[in-house]
């Protein structure tokens, strides 16, 4: 079979293992997508109708790539068809094409199940889907109805609790019954969830979590529908199985229950989403649930050089909760890993930018270079370093000055300088929310406060008092100190840090970084320094917006966002204890091995070169801190590392 040529023995074994449950442990760069698509093509060549095949992955990008590869293989094989094979030529490349396998994300699969069978439980075929912003707004509205301040309970945090419960298969009625008479926080969450579900039902809408939880319940409770779905898809493929949560694993199990043909691909060493409910045990314990399962290990790395593969092996083998797997490569030794110790974040960014320019002159395109960081706040210094060096770049995710929490802070600062700015007032009054909307502000604009209810008047006066205090502070405070004052007075610290979710805490780190940026203007305290800082921030934001349309350049992103991607050259910045590994590494309730897996993911994005950088002094919240090198550096074999302008003894 010509399409098997070029596959190694383990890959061929996986492609040809068509019957029963199969678990493929695929190391980084081991060609798992090729295995998946070739196996799907092999099934069709063996006479399995394409529309009996299902493949599920986690991102739309991955699903599109997989569909494209299968389509290409079918087109190339169209002139050599066997019985049961279908020509896909000129067919639309969508997950709903019955002449192609159904290839989609988990949410795409859930939507298809509900559109096909949801009428049995009263779900309209044309339901709408709430995104996170819609969900959080609805939760905020429910809090208002309950007369609960968003300062006390963050809508984002409550939505996070609801989402986590849905991901565990908990229904609102179960949650309410269990929590309605417990702590105040649990009671509020239960009441808000009930209100939230009523709103969804009234608007014939579902949220992202419903797209998984409701199909699972539908299949469990309706035998006829379950049998229809099982007979529709007789061969089930699940990509990135280590990232599935309990309900997603349950959905895969239900669909494959009749024919037993469940093919899962994953790598426990790349399980980095435990904080959002992913269960790495789904891949590690696959044989316990399916004792008859075959297990195939893909260990040959086609992506990275020998030095990089050896270094990554040295890091990940320190973890105990993993399946034994040792990556190898037939590629050359390659360049050593370069470690650079900078003076501070700005010096680190400057060095990275100059090194990228040097590589560009040696023929490495900017598009094949990535700079990875552990937390979002690091991007600010890196962006500025690239701008100064004239290196084009694109930031995956929202740019620093375009992030919501940063825009909120800047609105508060501008309002303090000019309290009559309506746009800034509208933004500030809602950040964090304090029960003052456009209608109430409209009443204020009319000038007659006698029409206000006592509660409305109290909210307005409390907000105006904060603005007045901040306005007085602009006369004397240095810009960085003023940022800190705004954080406290506005209630942002409490909303993001004290009561927020994991994501909110990362947003607070971005707010802290704003104070660091503002410290550059501390030589000119008072209104002049603050207004200069705001003007410079506006210019940076405009420049970012212009750069948004630029499709070429170095890629900046968090390590979490980089999973599944690969680059010729990778820089991992901020290799400092407390930053990477992040603060909390080693604490009792924290999965410290996940942090090491995250570093393993960062290392294995590189094909040819890997640079690890750290700063001796890191400014956090406007203050300088002397750092310690990351403990991960000691996990790397010193024989594959060199120290660029760095005293090796400092790191070791």
Task: Tell me which residues are annotated as active site.
Answer: 32-33, 239-240, 270, 605
With CA atoms as reference, report the closest residue to 19 among 241, 263, 230, 232: 263
Torsion of CA 112, 117, 121, 123, to 10 degrees: 50
Are 491 and 434 contacting, i.e. CB atoms less than 8 angstroms apart? yes
Name the strand (E) or helix (H) holding 569. Answer: strand 567-572
Supply φ then ψ for residue 634, to 5 degrees: -75, -15
Q: How many CB atoms lie within 10 A of CB 605?
A: 25
130 three-class SS:
strand
105 three-class SS:
strand
Tell me the CA distances in angstroms from 381 to 409, 487, 541, one per residue in order: 19, 21, 14
Distance CA 55, CA 100 (A): 11
- Determine if the peptide bond prior to 175 is cis (ω within 30°): no
For the chain, the distance separating the N- and C-terminal CA atoms, rounded to the nearest angstrom, is: 53
643 three-class SS:
strand
User: Per-residue DSSP letters for 518-547?
Assistant: HGGGTTS-SHHHHHHHHHHHHHHHHHHHHH
Inter-axis angle of helices 306-316 and 592-603, nearest 10: 180
Supply φ then ψ for residue 76, to 5 degrees: -65, -30
CA triple 507-508-511, angle to 5 deg: 95
Are 386 and 393 contacting, i.e. CB atoms less than 8 angstroms apart? yes
Q: Give 3-state DSSP helix, strand, coil % of the chain, rounded to 5.
A: 55, 15, 30
Query: Strand 554-558 and strand 641-644: pairing?
Result: unpaired
Supply φ then ψ for residue 555, to 5 degrees: -100, 130
What value does the CA radius of gyration of the chain take, rounded to a whole number of Å?
Answer: 27
Name the strand (E) or helix (H) holding 206. Answer: strand 205-207
Distance CA 154, CA 156 (A): 5
With CA atoms as reference, report the closest residue to 50 among 23, 5, 104, 88: 88
Contacts of 127 (CB under 8 A, 6+ apart): 114, 118, 204, 205, 206
User: What six digits make up the tokens of 316?
Assistant: 């990940």
Distance CA 316, CA 319 (A): 6
- Determine if the peptide bond prior to 432 is cis (ω within 30°): yes
466 three-class SS:
helix
Distance CA 142, CA 129 (A): 19
Are 569 and 609 contacting, i.e. CB atoms less than 8 angstroms apart? yes
Distance CA 508, CA 87 (A): 53
Supply φ then ψ for residue 341, to 5 degrees: -100, 115
Distance CA 185, CA 208 (A): 24
């Amino acid at each position: 079979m010509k399409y098997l040529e070029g596959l190694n023995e383990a890959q061929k074994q996986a492609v040809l293992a068509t019957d029963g449950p199969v678990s493929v442990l695929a190391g980084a760069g081991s060609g798992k997508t090729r295995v998946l698509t070739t196996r799907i093509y092999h099934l069709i060549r063996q006479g399995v109708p394409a529309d009996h095949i299902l493949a599920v992955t986690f991102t739309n990008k991955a699903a599109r790539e997989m569909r494209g590869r299968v389509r290409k293989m079918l087109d190339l094989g169209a002139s050599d068809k066997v019985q049961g094979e279908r020509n896909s030529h000129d067919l639309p490349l969508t997950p709903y094409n019955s002449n192609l396998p159904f290839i989609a994300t988990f949410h795409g699969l859930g939507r298809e199940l509900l559109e096909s069978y949801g009428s049995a439980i009263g779900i309209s075929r044309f339901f709408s889907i709430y995104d996170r912003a819609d969900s959080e707004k609805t939760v905020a509205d429910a809090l208002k109805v309950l007369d609960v301040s968003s300062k006390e309970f963050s809508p984002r945090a409550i939505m996070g609790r609801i989402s986590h419960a849905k991901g565990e298969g908990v229904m609102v009625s179960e949650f309410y019954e269990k929590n309605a008479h417990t702590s105040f926080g649990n009671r509020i969450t239960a009441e808000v969830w009930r209100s939230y579900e009523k709103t969804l039902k009234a608007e014939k809408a579902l949220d992202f979590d419903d797209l998984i939880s409701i199909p699972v319940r539908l299949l469990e409770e309706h035998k006829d529908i379950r049998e229809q779905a099982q007979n529709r898809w007789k061969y089930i493929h699940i990509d990135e199985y280590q990232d599935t949560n309990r309900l997603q694993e349950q959905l895969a199990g239900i669909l494959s229950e009749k024919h037993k043909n469940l093919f899962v691909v994953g790598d426990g060493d790349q399980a980095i989403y435990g904080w959002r409910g992913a269960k790495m045990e789904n891949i590690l314990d696959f044989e316990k649930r399916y004792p008859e399962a075959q297990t195939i290990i893909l260990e040959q790395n086609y992506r990275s050089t020998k030095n990089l593969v050896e270094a990554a092996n040295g890091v990940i083998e320190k973890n105990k909760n993993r399946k034994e797997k040792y990556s190898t490569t037939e590629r050359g030794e390659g360049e050593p890993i370069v470690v650079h110790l900078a003076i501070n974040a700005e010096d680190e960014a400057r060095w990275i930018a100059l090194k990228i320019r040097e590589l560009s002159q040696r023929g490495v395109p900017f598009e094949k270079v990535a700079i990875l960081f552990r937390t979002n706040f690091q991007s600010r210094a890196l962006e500025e370093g690239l701008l100064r060096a004239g290196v084009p770049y694109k930031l995956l995710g929202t740019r620093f000055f375009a992030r919501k929490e940063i825009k909120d802070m800047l609105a508060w600062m501008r309002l303090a300088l000019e309290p009559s700015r309506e746009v800034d007032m509208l933004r500030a009054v809602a950040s964090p929310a304090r029960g003052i909307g456009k209608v109430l502000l409209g009443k204020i604009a009319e000038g007659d406060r006698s029409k206000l209810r006592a509660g409305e008047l109290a909210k307005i006066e409390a907000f105006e008092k904060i603005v007045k205090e901040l306005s007085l502070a602009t006369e004397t405070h240095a810009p960085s100190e003023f940022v800190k004052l705004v954080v406290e007075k506005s209630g942002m610290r409490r909303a993001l840090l004290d009561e927020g979710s994991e994501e909110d805490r990362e947003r607070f780190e971005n707010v802290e970084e704003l104070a660091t940026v503002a410290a550059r203007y501390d030589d000119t305290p008072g209104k002049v320094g603050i207004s200069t800082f705001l003007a410079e921030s506006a210019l940076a934001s405009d420049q970012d917006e212009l750069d948004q349309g630029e499709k070429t350049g170095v890629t900046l992103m968090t390590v979490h966002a980089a999973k599944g991607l690969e680059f010729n050259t990778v820089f991992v910045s901020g290799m400092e204890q407390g930053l990477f590994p992040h603060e909390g590494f080693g604490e009792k309730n924290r999965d410290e091995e996940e942090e090491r897996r995250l570093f393993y993911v960062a290392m294995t994005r590189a094909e040819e070169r890997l640079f690890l950088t750290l700063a001796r002094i890191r400014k956090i919240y406007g203050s300088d801190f002397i750092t310690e090198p990351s403990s991960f550096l000691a996990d790397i074999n010193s024989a594959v590392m060199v120290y660029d302008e760095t005293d090796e003894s400092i790191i070791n």
